[in-house]
A and B are shown apart, each in its own frame.
Chain A
């Protein structure tokens, strides 16, 4: 396969990468663009650790051929908040001890951000439903759900 140049907006800034068109977006984000919040989990679309936003909507980057990002807008956790300026969702995760090992947190927060854009005041059931593609093996989910609830309530 011939390499191609793919251009897209990453966290509001234009980027271009030379890559195989069928490389997955997760690997390109991590290895070529140093977006290390994008975690490599199952590689099958089942765990949600690699979730990013495509034009504001959650997708799993491990199953997204990078060519599908051409001309689109991609948001990773790095574009949601920074250590110096936490997004309210990140602050709520911190306050509620919603991260233990932290591997799922980026995906969880990314999905939660999209959820709150669509639905600023979700019910607990709607939060659970939105998170159903994101696996956490530490917390039992309760602190995560409560953190998202808190972030929504504080808006």
Chain B
């Protein structure tokens, strides 16, 4: 089977029409870093490949909240000083050349343990705008994933933008890979805490990559932080909780055992690094 057709609609409406017509038989092409390895080796044969090149989704709007168009390149995301957590995560994805191509929206659909952006975005309470012919809806990123490479999106829907609320509190990003740069993720941790004037944590987010079939929030770790100061004891409890609730996997990079072993350490270091 070969790919039957390639289309590059000149508008978002054109893209949505194609998705409406072809549904699961359409493959969406943005930066190419995930799709082209399959196309090059003829490992995929969708009826149609639809390019987002002409859809006008490469844009960032800052208006209190920050709305990032789905085809915004990671190089641009990595330079966003308003969101140091997300920028730090984007900065560590792939190489310079890959970040010049890969898009933020595309990274949400990267097979785990890739997909660091979603880990950072979970800690930032990001929402997604999903559009379809004749309508749109907003869903929390937290509600997107349902299983390994499974999401709540309908085949005729396209994530058109990622909306990040104005940053509240302090954040931290930690990626553990086998080397410093251009390395796939073994474990990734994103954290955000909001404290009251007495230093008591009133809001906590701990998100994990490499910890499940999809980027996940570590809700027990978050609960362990609430109502307490950010100190050695609360951090230890949160790290232990995250280690218990993580359900990691084995792959060519690391075993399930190893990921589990370092999960608590990575969460502890991430929380210690909050600033």
Q: Pick the interface stretch among A7-15, A62-70, A83-91.
A: A62-70
B29 / chain A contacts, CB cutoff of 8 Å: 22, 65
Q: Pick the interface stretch among B97-105, B146-154, B156-164, B235-243.
A: B97-105
Contact among A22, A59, A67 with B53 in the assembled complex (CB-CB below 8 Å): A67
A48-B95, A64-B101, A133-B182 known; A43+B40 contact, CB < 8 A? yes
Q: How many B residues are at the interface, by size bracket? A: 20 to 34
Main secondary structure of the interface of A (DSSP, over half): mixed
**Contact between B2 and A1 (Cβ–Cβ < 8 Å)?**
yes
**Contact between A64 and B36 (Cβ–Cβ < 8 Å)?**
yes
B8, closest chain A residue (CB): A67
B41, closest chain A residue (CB): A43
Total number of residue pairs linking A and B with CB closer than 8 Å:
87
> Considering only CB atoms and an 8 Å cut-off, how many residues of chain A contact the other chain?
31
Q: Which B26-42 residues have C-beta < 8 A from chain A? A: 29, 32-33, 36-37, 39-41
Contact among A46, A67, A111 with B51 in the assembled complex (CB-CB below 8 Å): A67
Task: Give me the 5 closest cross-chain CB pairs, A-B, nearest first.
Answer: A133-B95, A132-B181, A63-B36, A132-B182, A58-B97
18 other A-B residue contacts (CB within 8 Å) besides A45-B97, A130-B96: A1-B4, A2-B6, A22-B6, A24-B40, A45-B95, A58-B100, A60-B97, A60-B98, A62-B36, A64-B32, A64-B101, A65-B39, A67-B53, A68-B51, A114-B96, A133-B94, A133-B96, A133-B98
The interface of chain A, by Cβ under 8 A from chain B, is 1-2, 20-22, 24, 43-46, 48, 51, 54, 57-60, 62-65, 67-68, 111, 114, 128-130, 132-134
